[in-house]
Chain A
Amino acid sequence: MVELKGAIALIGYGLAAIGPGIGIGLVVAAAISAMARQPEAAGMVRTTMFLGIAFTEALALIGFVLFFIA
């Protein structure tokens, strides 16, 4: 058997990053297509996009914290 070494918290953080990664991708994709359809609304869409990214990121950030306190 191969011996594995390292912190299991790293795997935990990797798992925690999957969902937010997909989520941020969806948010940005929707924002890009909205901006392409209506370039005049780009400013508003950009603000909302950052908000969406910030809320989606929250789970990855909790994973990041757990990585440190685990």
Chain B
Amino acid sequence: MEQLILAAGGCDPANDIICRPENVIELFQFEDNLFTIGPWGITRTVFLILLAMVIVVGLLFFGLRKKRMNPSKYGVTIESLMGFVRDDIATGIIGPEGVKYYPWLLSLFLFVLVGNLFEVTPLINFPITSRMAIAGSLSLLTWVIFVFVGFKKNGFGYVGALIWPTTVPIALRPLVGLIEFVSTFFLRPLTLAVRLFANMVAGHLMLTLLLVSGWVFMSSVGEIGVRALIGVPWFVFGLGIYVFEIVVAVLQAYIITLLSAVYVESSIHIEH
């Protein structure tokens, strides 16, 4: 509710046609501590990170607690989710040795999925992946893993193959090598993080803008009369976007996992 007031602050339904939040950053930053544990203050974002962690661990723990011949419906759901990440992403992209990276990919997928779905969870309504710190840390971890794997599997030939690609004509090699070097070591982690972050920020803003506008207009029907009808299309559009955002949340979790696997694969097999 505090969020709604924040977003609707300075909205004048008698003159505007849509409510714009006065300060967009306030929709993503929570300065106040919910509670403190020793020297650590737990803000809403930190609390949601811990909650996402507990949800992921709980999902896996209760799904795999008992090994049974005929698993329960819930167990089958968890197993098929894990099978999807293992077969379609880990071994499907990286190859047979991808099983080694399967734990990392599964935890990345589930954490980002839960974090993204917080956006459309009632009473939470805040995607933790819309904070660059979280998206950035996850993509930095992927970066560390694929650079480490590249050096471990190929030694310094990893960088050599990047800056001197033998499959292109010799006159183009410095140029292509420079592009490849920059894109591998700088643009990959940046775009991996920004893709997730930008999608979540855009979705959260769109939902806030449309649903809050609809709510403010429709609830002030006593003061502005027939102008309150402006709120109806905003609200209907907002509900449409709500469904769309569920798709986006799942898709972005899939894409960040898929791209992590592709980056690891390109570090293992440097010949192409």
Contact = CB atoms under 8 A, between A and B. Distances in A.
Contacts of A43: 88
B28 to A, nearest CB: 13
Contacts of B194: 61-62, 64-65
A61 B251 CA distance: 17
Contacts of A58: 187, 191
Contacts of A54: 195, 255, 258-259
A52 to B, nearest CB: 11
Interface in B29-64: none
Contacts of B262: 51
Given A61-B198, A64-B198, A50 B191 contact: no
B258 A65 contact: no
B259 A51 contact: yes
Interface in B232-272: 251, 254-255, 258-259, 262
A35 B56 CA distance: 34
- Chain B CB within 10 Å — which of A43, A62, A65 has the most? A65
A50 B190 contact: no
B258 A61 contact: no
B88 A47 contact: yes
B88 A61 contact: no
Contacts of B195: 54, 57, 61
Given A47-B88, A51-B262, A61 B191 contact: yes
Interface string B182-226: 000001001100110010000000000000000000000000000
Contacts of A65: 190, 194
A47 B259 CA distance: 10
A62 B254 CA distance: 21
Nearest to B191: A58
A50 B92 contact: no
B198 A50 contact: no
Given A61-B198, A64-B198, A51 B191 contact: no
B12 to A, nearest CB: 20
A43 B84 CA distance: 12
Contact of B92 (A47, A61, A62, A64): A47
Contacts of B254: 50
A50 B258 contact: yes
Interface in B73-97: 88, 92-93
Nearest to B194: A61
A58 B191 CA distance: 6
Interface string A31-70: 0000000000001000100110010011001101100000
Contacts of B198: 61, 64
A64 B194 CA distance: 8
Given A51-B259, A57-B195, A61-B198, 10 more contacts: A43-B88, A47-B93, A47-B258, A50-B254, A50-B255, A58-B187, A61-B194, A62-B187, A62-B191, A65-B194
A-B CB proximity, top 9 nearest: A58-B191, A61-B194, A64-B198, A61-B191, A54-B255, A54-B259, A61-B195, A65-B194, A50-B255
Interface of B: 88, 92-93, 187, 190-191, 194-195, 198, 251, 254-255, 258-259, 262
